[in-house]
A and B are shown apart, each in its own frame.
Chain A
Amino acid sequence: MDDLLTAVALLALLLLLLGSGLWVAVALTGVGYIGIAAFTSRPAGSILASTVWSSQAEWTLVALPLFIWMGEILFRSRLSGDLFSGLSPWLRRLPGRLLHVNVLGCGLFAAVSGSSAATCATVGKISIPELTKRGYDQRMILGSIAASGTLGLLIPPSIIMIVYGVAAEESIARLFVAGVLPGALVMGLFMAYIAVWSLLHPKKVPPAEPKIPLRARLRALRRLLPVVLLILLVIGTIYGGIASPTDAAAVGVAGALLLTRLAGDLTWAVFRDGLLAATRTSCMIAFILAGAAFLTAAMGYTGIPRHLALWIKEMQLSPFVLLAALTLFFILLGCFLDGISIVVLTTAVILPMVREAGIDSIWFGVYLVLVVEMAQITPPVGFNLFVLQGLTGQGLTNIARAALPFFLLLVLAVGLLMLLPGIATWLPTEMAKH
C-alpha cells in the first residue's frame, strides 16, 4: 500500500511539474532525484552521474542525430513541391482524387523523416493551398493532413522508435521493421475512408481533371524517384541485416546531401541551418533520454514498477483488458503530454508490468507509437494541430474536429493490431530468419 502511495505521489509530482511548464528533461531528472533521496538510502547524486553516462555514450543512439539530420536536409529541399507534382497525376481518377496526395505524400515523407510535425508541415505547405484552390472540402483536407502527418512516427526511420528502443533496450532495427506493415495498414485505412467519404458526398468533390498520358505521368514521377530509391536503400539495408540503423542513417545523410546538391538546392545556409537544427533537436532528445534513464533507475530502486507488475499479475487481467485500459490512459495522457514524454514515462514505469503480462515488447513499441500518433491530433496539446494552425490560421478546435474521423481510424488500427499482433511481429520474425 505504501508503495502505491509513493508511486501516486511521485507520478502526481511529475505531472504537476510537467504541467507547470518545466522543461521535460529537467522534470524527469528532478523527480528521479527526489524519488531516490526521499524513499531509498542510496546516493542519488552518483546514481545520477553514472546512469546519465551509461545512457549517453551509445552506438545505437548515434542513429538518432543522423536520422534527424537527414530529415532536416530534405525538409529544406524542394521535395515538398516534387511530392505534389509527382503524385497528383496518378490520383486524379481515384474516388477522393487528390485528397490521397496527403496520405501518400505524408507516407513517403515519413520514410525520410522521423518527425510527425515536420511531415505534416512539409506536405501541408504545398498540398493545402493546392487542394484549397481546386475546391476540395476544407475539413477533409485538414483532417487527412493532420492525421497522415503522424505517419512520420510509425513509418521507419522514426525518431520516437529510436527513443523507445534505447529506453526499453530493444533492437532498433527490429522496431523499424515492425513499423512497416502497421504503417501501410494505417495508410490503407485513411485512403479507404477518403474514398468511401467521397462516394457518399459526390457534390463535395471537385470534378476530375483531364487525364494525363502515361509518359507525362512517369516524367512527373521522375523527380521523386531518387528519394524513393534512397528510402529503399536505407530501409532495405536495415531489413536485410546488411547495415545497422546507424550505418543506414549515415548513408541516408550522405544520400540526402547528394540529392539536394544535384538538385542545386544545397547552399551553405541550407547545410549550416540543417546541421545546427539537427544538433539542437538531437541534444533535446538526448537530454530527455538522460533524464528518462535516471528516472527509470530511480523507479527501479523504489521498486514501484516491480510492485505495479505484481499487482497487475495478482489481478489476473487478460492482456486484452490491460491493453484496453492502457489505451484509454494513454489517450488521456496524450491530451496533455507530447509523444516523447509519453514514451519515456511508459518505459520507466509501465514497461515491466507489460512484460510481466506476457506482451512482446517489440509489439508494444508499435502499439505505443500508434497511441502516441493519436496524441498528436488530440487537443489541447497536439503538435500537428499546432502546425496546421500555423499553416492555415484556423482554430484549434476546428482542426481537431476535422481530424476526429481519422483519430477513430487510428483507434481501429490499434484494435486490429491487438486482434492480429502479427501485423507488427511477422516481418521482424521473418527478418530474424535470414
Chain B
Amino acid sequence: MRRCLDSLYRASLVAAALSLLLILGIVLLQVIFNLIDRVMQLSGSTPIGLLIPSYADFAGYLLAAASFLALGGSFRAGAHIRVNMLLRRLPDGARRWAELGCLSMALVVACTATWFFGKLTWGSWRFGDVSPGLVAIPIWLPQSVMTLGLLIFTIAVADEWYCAWRRHQPAYQLAEAAAEQALLERAGGEL
C-alpha cells in the first residue's frame, strides 16, 4: 500500500514536470517562429506568419495541469508554505493534535475542492464547452486532469492524516525538518 501510494505521488509529480518541459518547448518554438518572421521582415521578404495554433491556450492548460498534478507530491515534500513558528514550539503530544487539526481542515478543503471541481468538469463535458482560440480544445480535458490532481492531493492529505493518527511523523513534517538540516549542512561544508 505504502509503495503503491508513493509511486502515485511520484508519477503525478513527474507528469507535472514533463508538462513544464512541454511548456518550455512550446514557448521556445513560438519564440523561434517569431524570430524567423522578424528576420524575414527585416530582409525585405513578406513574413510567413509562422504560428503554433492556440499556443497560449495550450501553455495555459498545461500549466494548470502541471500545478494541480504536482499538488500531492509537493504537499508531502513540505513545499507548501505555512507559518509553523508556533507549532514548532509545541511539545510532541500537543504538536500531534495541532497537526491533526491542520490536516483535518486541509482534508475538508481538499474534499470540497475536488467535489466541486469534478462537478465543473462534468458540466463542461456535458455541454461540450471548448476553448475560444483557433484550435477548439474541449475544456473538460485540462479540467479532468486538474480534478485528478485534486483527487491525488486529497489522497495525500488523507494519507498524512492517517500517518499522524497512527503517531508517525507525517512526510511533510520530516521534509520540513530535512530542508532545514540540508541548509545547515550546506553552510557547514562551505564555512
A residues lining the B interface (CB < 8 Å):
17-26, 29-30, 33, 45-46, 48-50, 52-53, 56-59, 61-62, 65-66, 69, 121, 125-126, 128-129, 243, 246-247, 249-251, 253-254, 275-276, 278-284, 286-288, 290, 336-338, 340-341, 380-381, 387, 390-393
Q: Which of A48, A56, A125, A284 contacts B190 (CB 8 A)?
A: A125
Q: Which of B74, B80, B106, B119 contacts A46 (CB 8 A)?
A: B119
CB neighbours of A125 from chain B (8 A): 186-187, 190
Q: Which of B146, B187, B191 contacts A56 (CB 8 A)?
A: B146
Complex CA distance for A380 and B82, rounded to whole angstroms: 14
**Given contacts A45-B115, A49-B120, A57-B63, are A284 and B82 in contact (CB under 8 A)?**
no
CB neighbours of A286 from chain B (8 A): 63, 67
**Given contacts A22-B106, A59-B59, are A390 and B180 in contact (CB under 8 A)?**
yes
CB neighbours of A282 from chain B (8 A): 20, 66-67, 70
Complex CA distance for A346 and B75, rounded to whole angstroms: 25
Complex CA distance for A26 and B105, rounded to whole angstroms: 8
Of B44-52, B83-91, B163-171, which binds chain A?
B83-91
CB neighbours of B61 from chain A (8 A): 57
The answer to whether B79 has its CB under 8 Å from any CB of chain A is yes
B residues lining the A interface (CB < 8 Å):
13, 16-17, 20-21, 23-24, 27-28, 30-31, 34, 56-57, 59-61, 63-64, 66-68, 70-71, 73-75, 77, 79-87, 98-99, 101-102, 105-106, 108-110, 112-113, 115-117, 119-120, 142-143, 146, 180, 183-184, 186-187, 190-191
Of A19, A20, A290, the most chain B CB neighbours within 10 A belong to: A20
CB neighbours of A62 from chain B (8 A): 23, 27, 59-60, 63
**Given contacts A49-B116, A278-B20, are A21 and B82 in contact (CB under 8 A)?**
yes
CB neighbours of A58 from chain B (8 A): 60, 63
CB neighbours of B31 from chain A (8 A): 243, 247, 250-251
Complex CA distance for A52 and B143, rounded to whole angstroms: 11
Complex CA distance for A25 and B71, rounded to whole angstroms: 11
Complex CA distance for A341 and B143, rounded to whole angstroms: 26
Q: Are A251 and B28 touching (Cβ within 8 A)?
A: yes
5 further A-B pairs in the complex, CB-CB below 8 A; given A17-B105, A46-B120, A287-B67: A45-B115, A56-B64, A251-B28, A276-B17, A338-B81
Of B17, B87, B187, the most chain A CB neighbours within 10 A belong to: B187
**Given contacts A69-B20, A283-B67, are A21 and B74 in contact (CB under 8 A)?**
no
**Shortest Cβ distance from residue A84 to the other chain B in the assembled complex, whole angstroms:** 12
Complex CA distance for A381 and B73, rounded to whole angstroms: 26
Complex CA distance for A33 and B105, rounded to whole angstroms: 12
CB neighbours of B79 from chain A (8 A): 280-281, 283-284
Q: Are A21 and B102 touching (Cβ within 8 A)?
A: yes
